[in-house]
Amino acid sequence: MKIKCASEDKALVGTIFFLLGMGTLLPWNFFITAFDYFNEQLNTTTGNASETTQTSDPYMFNNMCVLISQLPLLVFTLLNSFLYQHIPERMRIAGSMILIFLLFLLTAALVKVKMEPDLFFYITMTTIWFINMFGAVLQGSLFGLVGKFPQTYNSLFMSGQAVAGIFSAVAMLISKISETDNKSAALGYFITPCCATLLTLCCYLLLPHLKSARLYLENLPSKEETKQEVLEQAESVTLMKMKLRDADCNGESLLTGPDRQAFHTRNVEEKLEGLCEGKSTVVAVFKKIWMMALCVTCVFMVTLSVFPAITVLVKPDRLFTEKWGKFFTPLCCFLVFNVMDWIGRSVTSVFQWPSKDSCLFPIFVVARVIFIPVLMLCNISSHVYLSSLLTHEFAYITVMSLFAMTNGYFACLSMSYAPRLVGYRDAETAGALMTFFLALGLSLGGALSFGLKKLL
């Protein structure tokens, strides 16, 4: 009975990390899903009622949105890597969630308020800045938190992030099918993250009360903890190691089996080290994880360079009739990408290859660059310098599936491997640093997309 309860407790911790991962990206994914609403509110009109013309993107909203979202994401993930030790974890995580909730509540309320385009634009840009600012702190802090746990929890956390993209893609598809007006759709897009953020906040507050979580959340020795106290704990380490060699893991839970003993053994040994050394500096941690940091940067740079800037330009060829053509992008671009990305991330919970020490890992990551020219040669009507070589929808869907699956797989492995390359006491620092390089990859990819569009 005790083993069963412990197993359920462990499953609950995994579920919480999955929901926390979903909660980090779901608000922003739903925000950008409402682009039609924002463009409708910002486009100015001229002429009479019978002859109405609209200017195209007078505020350069799409470009400004990329710029205003990436700047705080990059800056505050970097700041979080250095300053997280000086601000309590609960304040960073719970505080960010509460402020994101309030920002979406304000954005939802503004749907029903009529205002001038200029004022609406400035309010929206300010909202985008702060959502990404608090989102950067939240994501960096949560990656630092999950870095203290086994790799399986990291995979669950990143799978949750992918599911957030699936939800937003499905919401966009439902909106197209039901032909809902932009304001009503936007209201749903903004209220959903409010509910999701409250759910993730409750999950985070529940986490420290679970025995399986407390096992990994134990703090390193404080200044008041004497060396004698730690040495007394270390007396059982040798015995534990002997038990580990003889133990049978079948039917044993995290709280009763060798996993718990192995973790306690490592924790005690690192407490002894911590008495003399304490936590490593950010630079020292980076020297150990730099390869994984470059890998995650490369993964997201390649992905964001063509998705969605290039991929949304692909048009159907023969399978989708004119009536169904409006569903091609939401279905074959966004939904296919997010589903396959989620599958790629989920696979890492049961299969990890190449290993973190293998030279094949960075080679495979860099090899994803081949997807850039392949997607640029798909059926894009605005081609000037290039030709459409892959015109059939199946070709596009196949390429998109492989592109998305490898994105999820290698991104998740990079983020999972990094905390394993350092000691327990530095796992949180490694997670926070990796979040900065993830954001760096997003920013570089977004910047590169402007140049790639010119080459079409």
Half-sphere exposure of 257 (CA within 13 A, CB side): 15
Cβ-contact 56, 44 below 8 angstroms: no
Could you tell me the two tokens for 49? Answer: 């009622």
Instruction: Provide the pLDDT confidence category of residue 106 given band limits of 50, 70 and 90.
Output: very high
Instruction: Provide the pLDDT confidence category of residue 319 given band limits of 50, 70 and 90.
Output: confident
- 195 Cβ contact partners less than 8 Å away, ≥ 6 residues apart: none
The 10s digit of each residue's pLDDT in 190-248 is 999 999 999 999 999 999 999 888 888 865 444 444 344 444 444 444 445 455 455 44
Residues above pLDDT 90, as percent of the chain = 52
Instruction: Provide the pLDDT confidence category of residue 3 given band limits of 50, 70 and 90.
Output: very low
Residues 371 and 240 in one domain: no
Least confidently predicted of 116-120, 367-371, 382-386: 382-386
Least confidently predicted of 43-47, 201-205, 284-288, 376-380: 43-47
Could you tell me the two tokens for 315? Answer: 């048009």
Q: Of the candidates 219, 235, 260, which is a domain's last residue?
A: 219
Cβ-contact 347, 357 below 8 angstroms: no
The answer to whether position 171 is within a domain reads yes
- 136 Cβ contact partners less than 8 Å away, ≥ 6 residues apart: 72, 73, 74, 75, 76, 77, 80, 435, 439
Residues 257 and 303 in one domain: no
3-state secondary structure the chain: CHHHHHHHHHHHHHHHHHHHHHHHHHHHHHHHHCHHHHHHHHCCEECCCCCCEECCCCCCHHHHHHHHHHHHHHHHHHHHHHHHHHCCHHHHHHHHHHHHHHHHHHHHHHCCCCCCHHHHHHHHHHHHHHHHHHHHHHHHHHHHHHCCCCHHHHHHHHHHHHHHHHHHHHHHHHHHHHCCCHHHHHHHHHHHHHHHHHHHHHHHHHHHHCHHHHHHHCCCCCCCCCHHHHHHHHCCHHHHHHHHHHCCCCCCCCCCCHHHHHHHHHHHHHHHHHHHCCCCCHHHHHHHHHHHHHHHHHHHHHHHHHCCCCHHHECCCCCCCCCCHHHHHHHHHHHHHHHHHHHHHHHCCCCCCCCCCCCHHHHHHHHHHHHHHHHHCECECCCCCCCCCECCHHHHHHHHHHHHHHHHHHHHHHHHHHHHCCCHHHHHHHHHHHHHHHHHHHHHHHHHHHHHHHHC
The answer to whether position 50 is within a domain reads no
The answer to whether position 52 is within a domain reads no
Residues 425 and 301 in one domain: yes
Q: What is residue 233's predicted lDDT score, i.e. its pLDDT?
A: 47
Task: Name the average pLDDT for the chain.
Answer: 83
The answer to whether position 144 is within a domain reads yes
Geometric angle at alpha carbon 455, from 361 and 389, rounded to 5°: 75
Q: What is residue 5's predicted lDDT score, i.e. its pLDDT?
A: 52
Instruction: Count the domains in the chain.
Output: 3
The answer to whether position 53 is within a domain reads no
Domain span at 251: 221-276
- Alpha-carbon dihedral of residues 27, 9, 153, 72, nearest 10 degrees? 30
Cβ-contact 266, 424 below 8 angstroms: yes
How far, in Å, CA of 164 to CA of 50, rounded? 42
Residues 250 and 323 in one domain: no
Residues 176 and 254 in one domain: no
Residues 63 and 83 in one domain: yes
Residues 262 and 363 in one domain: no
63 versus 147: which is more confidently predicted?
A: 147
Could you tell me the two tokens for 173? Answer: 């598809």
The answer to whether position 120 is within a domain reads yes
The answer to whether position 28 is within a domain reads yes
Least confidently predicted of 61-70, 269-278, 334-343: 269-278
Q: Which of 331, 18, 316 is nearest to 170 (CA)?
A: 331
Q: Of the candidates 174, 191, 219, which is a domain's last residue?
A: 219
Which CATH number belongs to the domain containing residue 31 in this structure? 1.20.1250.20
Could you tell me the two tokens for 424? Answer: 């327990």
How far, in Å, CA of 287 to CA of 137, rounded? 23
The answer to whether position 48 is within a domain reads no
Residues 197 and 299 in one domain: no
Q: What is residue 275's predicted lDDT score, i.e. its pLDDT?
A: 43
Q: Of the candidates 276, 292, 309, which is a domain's last residue?
A: 276
Residues 11 and 107 in one domain: yes
Residues 181 and 159 in one domain: yes
The 10s digit of each residue's pLDDT in 112-169 is 998 899 999 999 999 999 999 999 999 999 999 998 888 889 999 999 999 999 999 9
- Does position 28 have pLDDT exceeding 70, yes or no? yes
Mean pLDDT of 356-382: 94
Cα dihedral 211, 274, 141, 412 sign = negative
Most confident residue range from 49-58, 72-81, 188-197, 274-283: 188-197
Residues 183 and 37 in one domain: yes
Residues 394 and 432 in one domain: yes
- Does position 408 have pLDDT exceeding 90, yes or no? yes
How far, in Å, CA of 137 to CA of 436, rounded? 10
Instruction: Provide the pLDDT confidence category of residue 419 given band limits of 50, 70 and 90.
Output: very high
Q: What is residue 52's predicted lDDT score, i.e. its pLDDT?
A: 40
How far, in Å, CA of 408 to CA of 365, rounded? 11
